[in-house]
Amino acid sequence: MKYEAVIGLEVHAQMLTDTKIFCGCSTRFGSEPNTQTCPVCIGMPGVLPVLNKKALEFSIRTGLATNCSIASYSRFARKNYFYPDLPKGYQISQYEHPICEHGYIEVVADGNVKKIGITRIHMEEDAGKNIHEGGGNYSFVDLNRTGVPLMEIVSEPDIRTPGEAVEYMKKLRAILRYLGVCDGNMEQGSLRCDANVSVRPGGQKEYGTRAEIKNINSFKFVEKAIEYEIKRQIKVIEDGGQVIQETRLWDPNKGITEAMRSKEEAHDYRYFPDPDLVPLTVEESVINEIRSGLPELPDAKRKRFAADFGLPEYDAELLTSEKAVSEWFEEAVHAGGQPKAVSNWIMGELMRLLNEENISIEKCLLKPGQLAEMLLLIDRGTISTKIAKTVFTGMCKTGKDAQVIVKEKGLVQVSDISAIEKVVDEIIAKHPDEAARFKAGEEKLLGFFVGQAMKATKGKANPQILNDLLKKKLS
Amino acid sequence: MKISIEHLARLARLSVTEEEKTLFANQIDGILNYVDKLNELDTVNVEPTSHVILLSNVVREDLQGDSLDREDALMNAPDRTDKFYRVPKIIE
């Protein structure tokens, strides 16, 4: 039987505020344990939490960027449970009245644009960190992260494949980074993802029983964990069993999901409105002000790049997935680079070199204007495209201008016909058999002669002139 | 009986004896019955109250304030190390 998966994602995004959501403690990552806490965030009696204005703004920004409606009335609730990383015994979250609802984002999957609904975005505080390693019969608790502002972004169960889930995560991350509300670092945990996964026989309307998969902390694992879970559930059903509603943990080492030993029977969080925090009524004027400050977002930019620069959809999507890359591209084009050529160099050589050196585009020594200059050298015939790769690598590694590298390494293209003619004559003389075969109609041997000539000129012969000359001499 | 004392005790991490279960069940039932009187009122046109103070939108600027010294923060902990709160091993 054919099955269809139904997937919804719950994404937690740490907001890039300087201080915690309800107190003035720093949110800095990687500080000495338990040095960024105060009576408010560690839940001392008699304290009063007050909402960080920036956390509210960031949430509204995100809501607007994901086509949500912003609630005119919103409030905080207490989610009650016991765990050592939760000093108050409850998490301040939002329940009945989240700040944003009913949005969507667009993802490109299998060449089609698909809308994935956003059910809600709500604000909440992060918990502390438990450390289990090396403690024997003990665990250790660091409360620095307690109270760091989070947005929980809940999608509709609109996702059907692991690939779509990855595209959704990537698009969401791109939007959050464009907005400057979250750094999107999955390894450090500032962007985390839980997946609700169920399967149903093709054509069936009702959803199957879902499992919640936790601990997915990279794009690769989003795909792998969901893929595994879908297969697991199908097997359970085909073996005559039933999928149980449960929380499962993704184990990246084993590549499987495992049922968590239920630490509590059915969750009973006893949500109720937090009496320490007053409700929020966001005025239309405030929403409009935040809306007017939104940057151009990935989708709009993608469409503009395709329309204004005549780029293929694929190029436009890739170039706009990171704000810094899109800006680099535009700068190179404004400096005179032909858009498609600039795009090719960014997506090919530049990405390869950045990956190799594991640096971001901002840290790259090569500046956009320098790429434009190099492209000009190619257009003028000063260097060949082949030689340009050597020049480009040199520029990235040293930050020097293309012309400087061309001069230093003596890479100027040879376009002097008589010089190339001399080489061509020598090669034909050296390979009479091949020349005869070519003349007899074995045309693919042209490549052989081009190769020999390039070798002799260290790749500097102008390919167009070389080709013309070879054809002329060999006919 | 309106409420499971066992469930409540588990949520609150309390252990109760059989006698206490009966005792508390009766007491809590009494409290709930008393509060139930409110259900006699017609509240169809009354907005639910989540807050008794008529205030909204109280926010603070994103400015750093003082944090506690680690020593002060850990001082009241039932168990600790130099840098951490220490708790019985959490097994998941």
Q: Per-domain residue ranges for chain B?
A: 5-39
Q: HSE of A104 in the Cβ direction (CA atoms, 13 Å)?
A: 10
At how many degrees (to 10) do helices A402-409 and A368-380 cross? Answer: 60
The band of A333, judged by pLDDT with boundaries at 50, 70 and 90, is very high
pLDDT at residue B26 above 70?
Answer: yes
Which of B8, B60, B63, B89 is the best substitution to test chain A (most A C-beta atoms within 10 A)? B60
Beta-carbon contacts of A106 under 8 Å, excluding residues fewer than 6 positions away, are: A113, A114, A115, A116, A171, A299
β-strand pairing of A51-52 with B59-60: parallel
- Please judge whether A138 and B86 are an interchain contact, meaning their C-beta atoms are less than 8 angstroms apart: yes
Q: Is the pLDDT of residue A287 over 80?
A: yes
Q: What is the pLDDT of residues A152-206, one digit of tens each?
A: 999 999 999 999 999 999 999 999 999 999 999 998 899 999 999 999 998 889 9
Q: Long-range pairs for A249-255 at CB < 8 Å and ≥24 separation?
A: A249/A213, A249/A214, A249/A215, A249/B92, A250/A213, A250/A214, A250/A215, A250/A216, A250/A221, A250/A224, A250/A225, A251/A215, A252/A215, A252/A217, A252/A221, A252/A224, A255/A224, A255/A228
pLDDT tens string A42-99: 999 999 999 999 999 999 999 999 999 999 999 999 999 888 999 999 999 999 999 9
Q: Are B65 and A19 an interchain contact pair (Cβ–Cβ within 8 Å)?
A: yes
Task: Determine, for residues A34 and B65 on separate chains, whether the beta-carbon distance falls below 8 Å.
Answer: no
Contact at CB, A53 and B53, closer than 8 angstroms: no
Residues of B with Cβ-Cβ distance to A25 under 8 angstroms: 64-65, 67
Token pair, residue A197, equals 């996964």
Rounded CA-CA distance A224/A191 in Å is 17
ipTM comes to 0.89
- Confidence at residue A387, expressed as pLDDT on a 0 to 100 scale: 81
Per-residue confidence (pLDDT) for residue A399, from 0 to 100: 85
pLDDT bin (cut points 50, 70, 90) of residue B70 is very high
Q: What is the mean pLDDT of residues A228-257?
A: 92
**pLDDT tier, A271 (very low <50, low <70, confident <90, very high otherwise):** very high
SS3 A174: helix
pLDDT in tens, B33-53: 999 998 999 989 988 777 788
Q: Whole-angstrom Cα distance, residue A304 to residue A308?
A: 6
Across the range A110-119, mean pLDDT stands at 90
Answer whether A36's CB lies under 8 Å from A26's CB. Answer: yes
Instruction: Enter the tokens of residue A203.
Output: 């054509």
For A346-399, give the DSSP string: IIIIIHHHHHHHT--GGG-SS-HHHHHHHHHHHHHTSS-HHHHHHHHHHHHHH-
Minimum Cα–Cα distance from A137: chain B residue = B89
> Among B65, B82, B61, B12, which Cα is nearest to A47's?
B65
Q: Which residues contact B37 (CB under 8 A, 6 or more apart)?
A: none
Neighbouring C-beta atoms of residue A105, cutoff 10 Å:
23
Size of interface A-B (CB pairs under 8 A): 128
- pTM value is 0.83
Q: Which residue has the higher pLDDT, A393 or A67?
A: A67
Phi, psi of A311 (to 5 degrees): -85, 145
Q: Do A278 and B58 touch (CB under 8 A)?
A: yes
Q: With 60 as the cut, is the pLDDT of residue B22 above it?
A: yes
Beta-sheet pairing, A77-80 with A90-93: antiparallel
